[in-house]
Structure formats: structure tokens, C-alpha cells
Amino acid sequence: MLSSVLQILPLLVVVGVVLLLRWNQRRVPDWGAVRRTVRLQPDASGGLVVPVSQLALRRTFSGSSNGLSPKLWVIDGGLRFKVFKLTERSFHHYERVEAHKSLFHGTRLVFVGSGERLQAMVRDADVARAVLRHLPADMPLSPAAAALRGDA
């Protein structure tokens, strides 16, 4: 009896940790008050440059990330980003935007589209807030992203 319990115990610990992490990810974090107003700087083509520390593009069966020279711009009508190559997506491509606190990267913005997820790691929550404020008002946001943007 004791040996069977000892065999199941590691599995129960792993399941408990996974459930705890999923619960923590779903709750709305306290982003705190706006410390400062951040203005995203435009580049030569008119897109707003977002300072990111890493970008990751995950697709259904593949994915790639860029931590050496990630580039992200908010342009009229969409996003331009460089993970593996320079890509543009319209805002209509994305179904929703999520925001999560990240242990090493500050804030993780996740743009969820059909069959892909663009994850942008932003060190400063105020910069992430500025990005969310430049998105269209009708773009669906997760409760955490809406709280970060400052929606009531």
C-alpha cells in the first residue's frame, strides 16, 4: 500500500504545480498605478517603435523566437514585427490580446490569432500600457490586458 502511494505522489505533485500555475496565470494581476506616461517613438516610416527584449511566434505545429534583435512596431491598421523575417499582420488577424507578468521580462503581451500567438516581452509595464492604448478600441482584451490598459 505504501509503495503504491509513493509511486503516485510525484504525479500528484506535478499535477498540483501545473494547476497552481494555470490558476495564477488566469487571475488579474495588480499592475499598480501609472508611474509615468510613455510615448512610443515613431520611426522613419511612421510606425511606433516598441522596445521589446524578446519576440516569440508560436504556430500550431512550429514556432520561432528572437532574443538577439527583436523588432516590433505598431503601424496604422496592424503590427509589424521581426522574429525570423519581417512580417505584418492587421489588427483584424488577432482574436484577442492577453497580458501577463513575467518573472524575467517584466510584462508579456500575447497577440492571439487563428493558429498563431505572437508573444512580445516588454521590460516596462508602462511601455506595455502604451502599446495597449495604441490598439483599436474594439480589439478584444483579456481581463488582465484591460486592467493594464486602464479600462474601468
Bridge partners, residue 73, by sequence = 49, 80
Task: Identify whether 8 is part of a domain.
Answer: no
Task: Identify whether 7 is part of a domain.
Answer: no
More confident residue, 53 or 151: 53
pTM flag (> 0.95): no
Q: What is the DSSP letter of 45?
A: T
Return the closest-CA partner of residue 125 out of 65, 54, 36: 36
Q: What is the extent of the structural domain holding 102?
A: 38-149
36 SS3 class: coil
C-alpha neighbours within 13 Å on the C-beta side of residue 15: 5
Q: What local confidence, expressed as pLDDT, does residue 13 receive?
A: 86
CATH number of the domain within which 58 lies: 2.30.29.30
State how many domains the chain has: 1
Task: Identify whether 14 is part of a domain.
Answer: no
Task: Identify whether 47 is part of a domain.
Answer: yes
**Cβ(99)–Cβ(148) below 8 Å:** yes
**Cβ(78)–Cβ(89) below 8 Å:** yes
Q: Give phi and psi for 94, each to the nearest 5.
A: -95, 135
pLDDT band at 97 (very low <50, low <70, confident <90, very high): very high
Return the closest-CA partner of residue 112 out of 131, 83, 139: 139
82 SS3 class: strand
More confident residue, 17 or 51: 51
Position of cell 516590433?
Answer: 72
Bridge partners, residue 49, by sequence = 73
Q: In whole numbers, what is the pLDDT of the chain averaged over residues?
A: 87
Which tens digits make up the pLDDT trace of 39-65? 899 999 889 999 999 999 998 888 888
